[in-house]
Amino acid sequence: MLLMLPAGAACAVPLSVFGPAPAVLSEPVRVYQAGVDDAPPSDLAALQDWQRRHRSLENVDMRGGRFWLVTQFRHDASDSDWVVALANTFYAHADLYLLGSDGSVQRRSSGIDETAEFMLHGGRSVRIEAGVEYAIVIAVDTPFFTSLPRIDVQTRSDYQRRVIDESVLALVALGGLTALGTFILFIGIWIRDRSYLLYAGQALALAIGWAFYFNLPYGWLGIEDARWNFTPWFFLLTFFHASFCVRFLNLRQQSRRLALLGRGIAIAALAALPICFLLPAWSHIAATLLVGSVVLFAVVAATHALAHGVRKARFFLAGYLAVLLPGLLILPANLGLMPDLLDNTDLLTLLGNSVEAMLLGFALADHVRLIERAREEFRQGMQDALQQASTDSLTGLGNRFAFNLALEEFLTRQNDGRERRRLLVAMIDVDGLKRINDSEGHSRGDALIRSIGHGLAHISHRNLRCFRLGGDEFAVLTTGDESAREQLVRQLDSLDRNLKQKGFPVAGISHGVCAGPDASVHVSAGDLAELLRAADRRMYDAKAHRRRNPPRNLHSVS
């Protein structure tokens, strides 16, 4: 800001950004103190004597009051339709007098209590003839100024072009802020997230505050009291800004000092709110300092959070940088430290606020994306944990927990109508495992278990699921009719024979296969328990039969 002061002091005419530049005045604007009953000069000839009777000031007091602004203008163009505007600042009421060397006197009034001739602008149409010397005398009465006031003189056509450019940009920005704030408000209410509510309050406070700044509520709602202006909304804006920063960036976990500073700014904004009505002359200066402090705080907090790995601070920091850059131009001018470098830094700041709101919306969306990613990672982790908890580490088959879940799933699907198939259960026990462990070692026994698991997993049977229940016990679940049951028995017998071919001559499997009730019958948990007991009995019958007929007999009971 200090570096820009010399440039601002040397800048007699601000850079025009949003439309045609105003005409160059014949002399700089002079400021005089105005009394309560002061009258303007009667004509141009009386101007010099009138000026001698009034106390000249270096400039207006930013805390407002009554002042006279005087300058002179002359042109040689053919156009006589012109507009004179008290520009670049908020004011309550202004009376404009145009005194011509031809003896003409024109009077116009503008302000929050007057109907606007141009949308969002206080300019007034006048007749300015070529070759005639004019004095422009403006009496302004206001509770405060937002920048050092400027007198703009433009042809009506140029002024209308500028009005269109600036009004469209302002209305689009205000509409975007309102729509975004309202949308996020409903989301915050719906999901009960305070971050969204604070952001919505911030966006809506911005929209309402800037609407007052550009005089929208005065003309549309008929408000004529200057005490109802934009400053209270900027105090609320500071409160929402600071609170949103603390909560969204998790500053209580990231930095206790920054969290305390943010809460202090929020509390100070609410505590200072009565200034707007009790000391209106100081309200804009206080609002400027508060807004400047919270924007700087937000940039520092976001930079700190980003440096500590808070990824959602990316868009957050970009948003506040978008408003900090025009803020560096507008804040010194708001305090009267320098003239504005641009013709409408207020509109530039509003556009910066709109970009900020959009980027903060992106930050919230990015926050949602990160939450969803974390939820998906958690869900995947839970699935992996469940998979590990339900998988036998030695064979890769389901364990007893997975077996019980599969039975419950079948029971649910059967009884709600999704499953109308007959359940087949095979209970399997390994023969010769202890002998192999004792004679050849447990690693060889593990190889036998893996070989059986591999063989079960490759049985070609529809809807077949295999499980290792523990130790030397296995189970198979599938569905089908009597032919399917017989096919499963043959495949298990084949697996038993193949174990000898794989180098396990003393090993084998004993199994019992049972079919559940008919698919049309309602199945209960008791029915499943009885089915498992029946399969167990058949398996033990098969094991006893194997002991009685050791080498080459059938090892199953079906």
Mean pLDDT of 34-57: 92
Residue pair 73/128 in contact (Cβ under 8 Å)? The answer is yes
Q: How far is CA 305 from CA 83, 142, 256, 370, in A?
A: 50, 42, 12, 15
Confidence of residue 327 (pLDDT cuts 50, 70, 90): low
> Does pLDDT of 2 surpass 90?
no
pLDDT at 259: 93
| Contact status, residue 63 vs residue 144, Cβ threshold 8 Å | yes
Angle (nearest 5°) at CA 492 between 487 and 496:
145
Contact 244, 194 (CB under 8 A): no
Q: What is the mean pLDDT of residues 539-544?
A: 89
The percentage of the chain sitting over the pLDDT mark of 90, rounded to a whole number, equals 37
| Cβ–Cβ < 8 Å for 259, 305 | no
For the cut 60, the answer to whether the pLDDT of residue 11 exceeds it is no
Give pLDDT tens digits for 404-421: 888 888 888 877 766 667
The 10s digit of each residue's pLDDT in 50-109 is 999 999 999 999 999 999 999 999 998 889 999 999 988 889 999 999 999 999 999 999
The Cα–Cα gap between 239 and 114 comes to: 32
> Strand pairing partners for 415?
none
Q: How far is CA 226 from CA 90, 329, 478, in A?
A: 10, 26, 82
pLDDT at 70: 96
Q: Which residues pair with 108 in a beta bridge?
A: 96
pLDDT for residue 360 is more than 80: no
pLDDT beyond 70 at 459? yes
Q: Is the pLDDT of residue 10 over 70?
A: no
Q: How far apart are CA 228 and CA 218, in angstroms?
A: 9
Contact status, residue 427 vs residue 439, Cβ threshold 8 Å:
no
Q: H/E/C letters for each residue in 473-502?
A: EEEEEEECCHHHHHHHHHHHHHHHHHHHHC
* Structure tokens that stand for 31 in this block: 């400021």
pLDDT above 80 (res 431):
yes
The pLDDT tens digits of the residues spanning 476-496 come to 998 888 888 888 899 999 998
pLDDT (mean) for 198-227: 86
Cβ atoms of 331 and 371 within 8 Å: the answer is: no
pLDDT at 36: 81
Higher per-residue pLDDT: 132 or 322: 132
Say yes or no to pLDDT of 164 above 90. yes
Kindly state the tokens that stand for 95: 């009376």
Q: Higher confidence at residue 493 or residue 371?
A: 493
Tell me the pLDDT band of 39, cut-offs 50, 70 and 90: very high
User: How far from the centroid of its chain's Cα atoms is residue 537's Cα?
Assistant: 64
Range of lowest pLDDT (141-150, 288-297, 417-426, 477-486): 417-426
Higher-confidence residue of 460 and 405: namely: 405
Residue 295: pLDDT band with limits 50, 70, 90: confident
Q: Distance of alpha carbon 453 from its chain centroid, rounded?
A: 52
The pLDDT value given to residue 358: 77
Residue 326 banded pLDDT, cuts 50, 70, 90: low
Can you give the pLDDT at residue 512?
A: 92
Length of the chain: 558
Q: Residue 91's pLDDT is what?
A: 92
Is residue 543 within 8 A of residue 431, CB to CB? The reply is: yes
Q: Which residues share a beta bridge with 513?
A: 426
Is residue 140 very low, low, confident or very high in pLDDT (cuts 50, 70, 90)?
very high
The two structure tokens encoding residue 106: 């024109």
Stronger pLDDT, 517 or 557, i.e. the higher one: 517
What's the pTM? 0.66
Neighbours of 48 (CB within 10 A): 10
Helix (H, G, I), strand (E, B) or coil at 11: coil
Residue-wise pLDDT for 169-195, tens only, equals 999 999 989 998 898 899 889 878 888
Q: Are 506 and 398 in contact (CB under 8 A)?
A: no
CA–CA distance, 243 with 270 (Å, rounded to integer): 12
H/E stretch holding 106 reads strand 105-111
Beta strands in 129-288 (DSSP E): 134-142, 150-155
DSSP state of 21: P
In this structure, are residues 18 and 166 in contact, taking their beta carbons and an 8 Å threshold? yes
- Structure confidence at residue 257 (pLDDT): 92
> Is the model's pLDDT at 125 over the cut of 50?
yes
Secondary structure (3-state) at 85: strand
Whole-angstrom distance, CA of residue 189 vs CA of residue 529: 50
Q: Pick the range with the lowest mean pLDDT from 35-44, 243-252, 266-275, 353-362.
A: 353-362
CB 514 within 8 A of CB 460: no
Residue 369 burial (CB count, 10 A): 12
Which one, of 94, 105, 210, lies nearest residue 152 by Cα?
94
Q: Are 259 and 252 in contact (CB under 8 A)?
A: yes
Tell how far CA 211 is from the center of its chain.
23
Tokens, residue 492? 């298990």
Cα–Cα distance for residue pair 454/461, rounded to 1 Å: 14
Q: Which residue has the higher pLDDT, 369 or 349?
A: 349
